[in-house]
Amino acid sequence: MDLPSDHLRPRGTRPDAETSEKIYLIKRVPTLRATYQVRLLWFRAAQEGKKLVLVVPAACQFDNSLRELLRARPTAVEREDLA
C-alpha cells in the first residue's frame, strides 16, 4: 500500500497543555492571527465540548482574521494574559 506524499497528508497540531475542560495554546507574540494551528485547535475544542484558552502577553493584539473566527463561536475561546 502506498502512503500519500507528505504534502497530501493531513497535518495535526498539539496544544501546549490540556485539561478535561480546556485546551491551552501559549503564544508570546505581539499579534496573534488565525493560523492553521489556532483554527485546528479551535475546531477540536468545539468538537470535544472544551474551551480553547489562548495564553498571550497582555499587549498582544488579535488580528482581524482571529477576531472573525472568534465571532463564529465566542464562548469556545478564552484569553488569558501571560504573567
Dump pLDDT digits (tens) for 38-79.
999 999 999 999 999 999 999 999 999 999 999 988 888 999
pLDDT over 70 (residue 31): yes
pTM, two decimals, is 0.84
- What does the block give as the cell for 82? 501571560
Domains of the chain, residue spans:
13-81
State the Cα–Cα distance between residues 45 and 26, nearest whole angstrom.
15
Residue 59's nearest CA partner among 81, 35, 26 is 81
Those residues with Cβ within 8 angstroms of residue 39's Cβ, 6 or more apart along the chain or in another chain: 69
pLDDT over 60 (residue 1): no
- What does the block give as the cell for 63? 488580528
User: Mean pLDDT throughout 22-26?
Assistant: 97
Task: Answer for the pair 68, 33: CB distance below 8 angstroms, yes or no.
Answer: no
